[in-house]
Amino acid sequence: MKKALVLDFGGVVTRTLFETHRLTEQALGLAEGTLTWRGPFDPDGDPLWKSMQADEITERQYWQQRTREVAELAGEDWTDMAQFVIAARGADPLAVIRPEAIAAIDAAHRAGVALAILSNELDLFYGADFRKKLPFLQTFDVIHDATYTHILKPDRRAYEDCIAALQTAAENCVFVDDQARNIAGARAVGMKTVHFDVSKPAAGYAQALGLLDITGEIS
């Protein structure tokens, strides 16, 4: 059966909002250094992130709080995450795509590996028009977005539905995500996994391609 590379979107395909504070500040007219929360890059300095990692709040609740905070700073009345993301990076979405992601996606596609996005909030966070501005998504066989299915990782049904859409078996899939709980969910259904370190994207993608028996450097 066909092998598949299954990617989370935010953090894996795109640079995180933590990494692009300066771009966000410029886009929103905020002074440089206004945004200080750094999530996985400085967990001790971001208590709200630590609460999310401890399962005291959900990832959506984390970003809902950050959206409210940034909206107040920017003098906006955003009601959802998509409004924040579109304002911060909607004008040039390709600028926040990881080049390592593009390189890995191209390598997998050339090798005949199926491609899938398995996201909890692709259109919810980024807006439905965001993906239309990303030509590389046209090479994907499956985009499974809980914005519409309402079945969020790590619920096993999210993985199983994605695997079924790919028409392959779990053991043929390599799943890449930056959240430990989502990696555990993928392992529970039999997928191979890469727990993506957002501070070392090239290493994460190289590991994923290695599990798919695809050789070559990612940079």
Distance CA(161)–CA(151), nearest Å, equals: 10
For residue 69, pLDDT beyond 80: yes
Distance CA(192)–CA(102), nearest Å, equals: 21
The yes or no reply on domain 4-15+94-211 and CATH 3.40.50.1000 is yes
Domain boundary assignment for the chain: 4-15+94-211, 21-92
Residues pairing with 5 in the sheet: 115, 174
This prediction has a pTM of 0.87
pLDDT confidence tier of residue 90, bands split at 50, 70 and 90: low
Residues pairing with 35 in the sheet: none
Distance CA(124)–CA(82), nearest Å, equals: 6
Distance CA(101)–CA(207), nearest Å, equals: 12
Token digits for 115? 């491609």
Distance CA(185)–CA(86), nearest Å, equals: 29
pLDDT at 206: 96
Angle at 36 between CA 181 and CA 95, to 5 degrees: 75
At 3-48, the pLDDT tens digits run 999 999 999 999 999 999 998 999 999 999 999 999 999 999 999 9
- The dihedral over CA atoms of 7, 166, 4, 159, expressed in degrees to the nearest 10, equals 50
